Chains A and B, each alone.
Chain A
Amino acid sequence: WELAADAVPEHSLWPLPQRVRTYPRQLQLAPSRFQLVHGAGSSAGPGCGLLQDAFRRGYYEYMFGHSRRRTRGRRPLAARAEPELFQLQVVVEAGDPGCDRHPQLTSSEAYHLTVTEPVAILKAYEVWGALRGLETFSQLVHEDDYGSFLVNESEINDFPRFAHRGILLDTARHYLPLKSILTNLDAMAFNKFNVLHWHIVDDQSFPYQSIYFPELSDKGAYSSNLIYTPTDVRLVIEYARLRGIRVIPEFDTPGHTQSWGKGQKDLLTPCYNGGQPSGSFGPVNPVWNTTYDFMTTFFKEISSVFPDEFIHLGGDEVDFSCWKSNPEVKEFMKKQGFGIDYAKLESYYVQNILDIVSSYNKGQMVWQEVFDHKAQLKPDTVVQVWMANNYAHEMSRVTGAGFTTVLSAPWYLDYISYGQDWKKYYSVEPLNFPGSEKQKKLVIGGEACLWGEFVDATNLTPRLWPRASAVGERLWSSSNVTNLEDAYKRLTNHRCRMLRRGIAAEPVFVGYCAHEAR
């Protein structure tokens, strides 16, 4: 059954750090006296808002629970054998710690944690590693049967196996209130995820309130209150930043754009039926200059609103039937010498968008079709592999062509099924495909996707957690961490911990937590 408390330290860490040594000797913490401080020699200090926030926000509440903040205590801890741990000193080593920056693909998330009396030391190159180390430290602190807080002497050396560890949320099929997104950013941080892939608009709705094109959400959102204002977007980005999470927005074109046409006339291709416009619309119209004028302005806005170096441009599932029906498009195909190969038209469109986005100094992520249909990508375009059929071969092809890739195909968490499906997500080995060492280095990570057709705020959290945790460990921990029995023990403890921290993660299997959800 699920253990009531994370009794044994080795049974409580998730994801499992690269190198952990715990010792039997335990130290006691007094919630009213224990401090998280900047250590001597740290390039970060009290002016580092990000760390101050992490100290105050998480690590008192998360470590000691809600009601622990009593006034400064003078009473020594009850006569116990264990010595007291007074502080965790955080030392950031890089000259520029990164406090006011946004995390990047190349950020360092490594840390070294030494827990010994009288003070524990957390060393990290950048603040991002400090955040990861703080999370791990909070997982080491446990409560005994008498309510005392203990931590075992430990030495941890940790860094992520993959640099891109993401969750995709879809706010177009169903609107997700801000609270839901922010709660999930908390949960992501508990699991050391570092990318929020925000699939923000799609066919069904356009909740993104654009500054240059307000009609897009005015006409395209489900309703006037189901939108994300610029303030909302800034809040998400900053909330994520404080947790070391990048926000990569996806504005998927030319397909998946029905909702764009509501607020932007003449953007989508009019479909024809027997020589006449049928009244319905297809993908973005690739033959009109106005399309590219619009996209130039639109992506100028997106490039400035979203600080991450990358923008996801989509490019998946383009249905060619509407283009094929449109006489102007057919004429254009002829002029360009594309014959009847509409994939060439799609690539023509995508290449133009890639150029536009490049000109704003942003990198691009695309779904695999863009690569499959042979569009000319930039050398640093990231290809996201999502089609489940034979994805190992796709990984070979994409990396073989020299592109960095992110794996999602086996991690579509919206595909629910009965039983402990976390095991199947956990058992995926991203580098299990035919390829050279060089190729495998091009796999920068993966993303668990929670598409929104059947998901909104009523069921998002239990559907995502703790199933996504399995993906989280696969992307962070060493490739030889594969034992399911050990993972089960740690995952069930981790799930109970998420409950304590206010994340309504669903059960892994039969059992209980000492602190159930409220």
Chain B
Amino acid sequence: AENEPSWETPCSELLVYVSTPGCDGFPSLDSKESYKLSVSKGSMLLSAETVWGALRGLETFSQLIGRDENGTYYINETEIVDFPRFPHRGLLLDTSRHYLPLRAILETLDVMAYNKFNVFHWHIVDDPSFPYESSTFPELSKQGAFNAMTHVYTASDVRTVIEHARLRGIRVIAEFDTPGHTLSWGPGAPGLLTPCYIGKAPSGVYGPINPIVNSTYQFVTSLFQEVSTVFPDFFLHLGGDEVDFTCWKSNPEIRAFMKEMGFGEDYKKLESFYIQRLLHIVSSLGKGYIVWQEVFDNNVKLRPDTIIHVWKDNSMQYMSEMANVTRAGYRALLSAPWYLNRISYGQDWIAAYKVEPLNFAGSHEQKALVMGGEACMWGEYVDVTNLTPRLWPRAGAVAERLWSNETVRDVEDAYARLAEFRCTLLGRGVQAQPLYVGYCDHEFGGV
């Protein structure tokens, strides 16, 4: 027939050429992920500076392959030159509000790779539970996990996650959030948390980590010594968000300390006191750190290479926060408009897609300090029963915003590609939910 494509000689191999060695290393913030892909008659070539670029190129190559009604696989002649707009493209999972079984984390890493995400931000512990099995402090998970036998991540589990991620060019950045968000640490580390008081007597309830006792800093040093060894990435996320001062204020020893230090009634100063010491400890362990924006907002003295994670989204104020953070010379990560746990009716992927991370008043140099961003899937209402459909394909909108050129914004075109990509995900066995009405050639088979 006239309009039938003419089949050229079958392609038999894709040649992959990498110029810099590094197969056995770990990806980093500075890794080059660029690649060139050239598909033409008789030759298919993927070239990249690093293995990480090769991985990105392989994913793209896999997306170019089509299949016709006769079942024949084909690929069009193609020339691609590609590289990410932002070097830090992350996804946050929360394994404290709900435990996520290992296979859920590993599957998420697979799909992250399909979307060219390259950072897994593991918010591993928090108030409700402490699933991380620490070799230095085994009581932390024994007393703090939902169930110390079944709802924990063993050292082997953690190694598995890190290696599974590495093989996909994904960095694992662990977050041990302090001094707030630490209730689950208490049972396994007596004396770590601040005892709250009602009047003159302890109430039996505990608050944030106690910043005034030396034992706290001994504990923190030992724990982060272990964490620094277990997690190979240069960066650790130290949290520092939402510290509730009520308990500190109620504690007479802390009040006395505040007086002694001349902090007055400004508990932000006490928070800074703790964080500064924590940052110093972590620095001496040879790690860099990322902190939530409160640490910056509360005027803590930070190292110049600190990365500030902007998360507060009260009526689009996050853009001025991005401006402030970068104006002060710090690197920034954006998450505020990308809290994927905040579900709503309809095609909310569009709002995530339309975000422009550099849409703030600032100089060129400032904007160069934006490293990228992270889609966050907080776990209050999420566990393995609904994680995958809630993450995908919505997180794909964030993935493109962080990888592709800033001019790539047409929603209609994005819809067509994302809907097609969703069908591809289904074909790969991923339980990605629909974008809108319609169907895929291979519908989801499991239930």
- Whether B383 pairs with A177 at a CB distance below 8 angstroms is no
- Whether A418 pairs with B439 at a CB distance below 8 angstroms is no
- List 16 other contacts, CB 8 Å, given A455-B433, A507-B383: A1-B128, A177-B443, A226-B439, A453-B437, A457-B443, A458-B389, A458-B432, A499-B385, A505-B385, A510-B98, A510-B128, A511-B128, A512-B151, A516-B101, A516-B150, A517-B384
Residue of A nearest to B128 (CB): A510
- Whether A455 pairs with B151 at a CB distance below 8 angstroms is no
CB distance from B335 to the nearest CB of A (A): 16
Q: Is the interface of B mostly helix, strand, loop or mixed?
A: loop
Which of the residues B342, B379, B386, B432 comes within 8 Å of A462, measured between beta carbons? B386
Which of the residues A455, A457, A461, A514 comes within 8 Å of B147, measured between beta carbons? A514
Which of the residues A456, A509, A517 comes within 8 Å of B381, measured between beta carbons? A509
Q: Interface with A: B70-78, B278-286, B343-351, which one?
A: B343-351
Residue-by-residue, is A477-518 near B (CB-CB < 8 Å gives 1, otherwise 0)?
000000000000000000000010000111101111010110
- Whether B98 pairs with A222 at a CB distance below 8 angstroms is no
Given the contacts A415-B345, A418-B341, A509-B380, A454 and B433 also touching, CB distance less than 8 Å? yes
Given the contacts A415-B345, A506-B385, A175 and B434 also touching, CB distance less than 8 Å? no
Which of the residues B146, B386, B432, B447 comes within 8 Å of A180, measured between beta carbons? B447
Q: Which B residues are within 8 Å of any A CB, using their own CB?
A: 97-99, 101, 128-129, 146-147, 150-151, 341-347, 379-386, 388-390, 426, 431-439, 441, 443-445, 447
- Whether A223 pairs with B439 at a CB distance below 8 angstroms is yes
Q: Contacts of B146 on A, CB cut-off 8 Å?
A: 1, 511-512
Q: Contacts of A462 on B, CB cut-off 8 Å?
A: 385-386, 389
Which of the residues A1, A4, A204, A458 comes within 8 Å of B444, measured between beta carbons? A458
Task: Please tell me if A102 contacts chain B, counting CB pairs below 8 Å.
Answer: no
CB distance from B125 to the nearest CB of A (A): 13
Which of the residues B344, B385, B434, B441 comes within 8 Å of A223, measured between beta carbons? B441
Instruction: List the 4 closest pairs (A to B, CB-CB), nearest first.
Output: A459-B389, A462-B386, A512-B146, A222-B439
- Whether A512 pairs with B434 at a CB distance below 8 angstroms is no
Query: How many chain A residues touch the partner (CB < 8 A)?
Result: 44
- Whether A175 pairs with B342 at a CB distance below 8 angstroms is no
Residue of A nearest to B433 (CB): A459
Q: Contacts of A177 on B, CB cut-off 8 Å?
A: 443-445, 447
Q: Contacts of A415 on B, CB cut-off 8 Å?
A: 345
- Whether B447 pairs with A510 at a CB distance below 8 angstroms is no
- Whether B438 pairs with A517 at a CB distance below 8 angstroms is no
CB distance from B223 to the nearest CB of A (A): 23
- Complex A-B: 6 CB contacts under 8 Å: A416-B343, A418-B341, A458-B432, A506-B382, A509-B380, A514-B147
Instruction: Tell me, in angstroms, the Cα distance from A179 to B446 when the chains sit together.
Output: 8
Instruction: Tell me, in angstroms, the Cα distance from A223 to B439 when the chains sit together.
Output: 9
CB distance from B22 to the nearest CB of A (A): 37
- Whether A456 pairs with B447 at a CB distance below 8 angstroms is no
Task: Please tell me if A39 contacts chain B, counting CB pairs below 8 Å.
Answer: no
Q: Contacts of B97 on A, CB cut-off 8 Å?
A: 510
Q: Contacts of B341 on A, CB cut-off 8 Å?
A: 418
Which of the residues B98, B385, B439 comes within 8 Å of A511, measured between beta carbons? B98
Q: Contacts of B444 on A, CB cut-off 8 Å?
A: 177, 456-458
CB distance from A200 to the nearest CB of B (A): 15
